[in-house]
Amino acid sequence: MSDKPRSFPLSLDALAGKPSRPGAAPTLAQSRIATPQTATQNKAQNAGRASVPVYGAPSGITPSRAQAIANERAQPATAAAPRQNPLVSEAVRRAMVARIVKQGVQDQVVLDAMLAVPRHMFMDEALASQAYIDASLPIGHQQTISQPYIVARMIEVMRNGGALQRVLEIGTGCGYQATVLSRVAKEVFSIERIKPLHELAKANLRPLRVPNLRLQYGDGMLGLPQAAPFDGIILAAAGLEVPQALLEQLTIGGRLVAPVGDKLQHLQLITRAGKMEWTSEKLEACHFVPLRPGTI
C-alpha cells in the first residue's frame, strides 16, 4: 500500500508533529493529524484490516476483536472514505500521550493505558475529530468527557506506582476514564447518576468488551457498599467536600482522588491511614462539572 510509512515505531517527535530531521518530508502524523476528517477516516481504514492495533495489547483484545470493534464503529464511513494508513488512529493517540508526558505524567502503566484506549469511540461522531486534543468536550446533558491530561494525572496519583485490585469511579459519563482504569486495575466499578449517560457508556463499551468493568446507575455519593472496599476511588465530578460514605469504602492504605471546590477547584488526595484515620493532601488546580446528589 502506497502510504505506509517505511519504519515503525515512529518517533514521538514525529508523531507530535516535529520533523525528524531538517528538510525531511512531513511524516504521516504531521500531514494528517489536523484534518477534521481524521477520526472518521481512521475508522474507515481500520475496518479493512485484521492486524491493526486499534486497541492495544495487554487486556485480551486480540487483533480479530480489534477488527470487530473497528468494523462495528466504522460502518457509516467505509464506502466513500479513501484508504489511508491504519496506524493514524494510534499515531494521534501517541501524540496525545506525548503531550501528557510533557505536562508531567510519568507512570508508564498509565501512559500505556492512555495509548491503548480509543478516545474517539467515546465521543459523538461530530466531535470525534477532536478526540485527541487535550481538552474536555461535551457529551450531552451538560456533562463532559474529561481532559486526557487530568484523566492520566488522577489515575497516576491514585495508583502511586502500586498494583490496584478494586477501583471505584464516581461519574461514568461516556465511560472513557472507566475504560482507561480497566487497564490499570483488576476490577473497576463506575457509577453514573444520569440514566441516558449510563446507557451511553454501556453502548460505547459494548464493542470494546471490557470484562473487568462494571457500570452502575445510581448516586455515586453513596458509593457502592456491595462492592466495597476499594483500594482506589476516583471522583470525576467536584463536590464541596468528599462524601463520608466514600471515605469509609476505602481499604486501609487505599487512595481517593477527587476534585474539590466550587468555581475554584483543586485535586485532593485522601489516603486512609487507619480504621478511623484519613490524611489529605491538596494537589493542583482543576475544573470539573459538579457532583450532585440523587439520580435522574
SS3 string, the chain, reads: CCCCCCCCCCCHHHHCCCCCCCCCCCCHHHHHCCCCCHHHHHHHHHHCCCCCCCCCCCCCCCHHHHHHHHHHHHHHHCCCCCCCCCCHHHHHHHHHHHHHHHCCCCCHHHHHHHHHCCHHHHCCHHHHHHCCCCCCEEEECCEEECCHHHHHHHHHHHHCCCCEEEEEEECCCCCHHHHHHHCCEEEEEEEECCHHHHHHHHHHHHHHCCCCEEEEECCHHHCCCCCCCEEEEEECCEECCCCHHHHHCEEEEEEEEEEEECCCEEEEEEEEEECCEEEEEEEEEECCCECCCCCC
Q: How far is CA 165 from CA 108, 118, 147, in A?
A: 18, 23, 25
CB of 143 to ligand SAH, least distance (A): 4
CB of 80 to ligand SAH, least distance (A): 31
Max CA distance (Å), the chain: 64
Confirm or reject binding of residue 289 to ligand SAH (CB under 6 A): yes
Is the Cβ of residue 86 or residue 243 nearer to ligand SAH in the bound state?
A: 243
Confirm or reject binding of residue 236 to ligand SAH (CB under 6 A): yes
Is 59 designated active site? no
Is the Cβ of residue 84 or residue 143 nearer to ligand SAH in the bound state?
A: 143
**Contact region for ligand SAH (CB under 6 A) — 65-73, 90-98, 252-260, 287-295?**
287-295
> Are 266 and 285 within 8 A, CB to CB?
yes
* Among 132, 176, 189, 230, contact with ligand SAH (rule: CB under 6 A): 176
Is the Cβ of residue 239 or residue 254 nearer to ligand SAH in the bound state?
A: 239
Binding to ligand SAH, residues 100-119 (CB under 6 A): none
Size of the site for ligand SAH (CB under 6 A): 25
Confirm or reject binding of residue 120 to ligand SAH (CB under 6 A): no
CB of 88 to ligand SAH, least distance (A): 23
Out of 89, 129, 136, 146, the active site residue is 146
CB of 234 to ligand SAH, least distance (A): 8
* Among 44, 110, 168, 197, contact with ligand SAH (rule: CB under 6 A): 197
Confirm or reject binding of residue 291 to ligand SAH (CB under 6 A): yes
CB of 170 to ligand SAH, least distance (A): 5
Binding to ligand SAH, residues 131-150 (CB under 6 A): 143-146
Confirm or reject binding of residue 204 to ligand SAH (CB under 6 A): no
Residues carrying an active site annotation: 146
Q: Which residues bind ligand SAH (CB under 6 A)?
A: 143-146, 170-174, 176-177, 191-194, 197, 219-221, 236-237, 289, 291-293
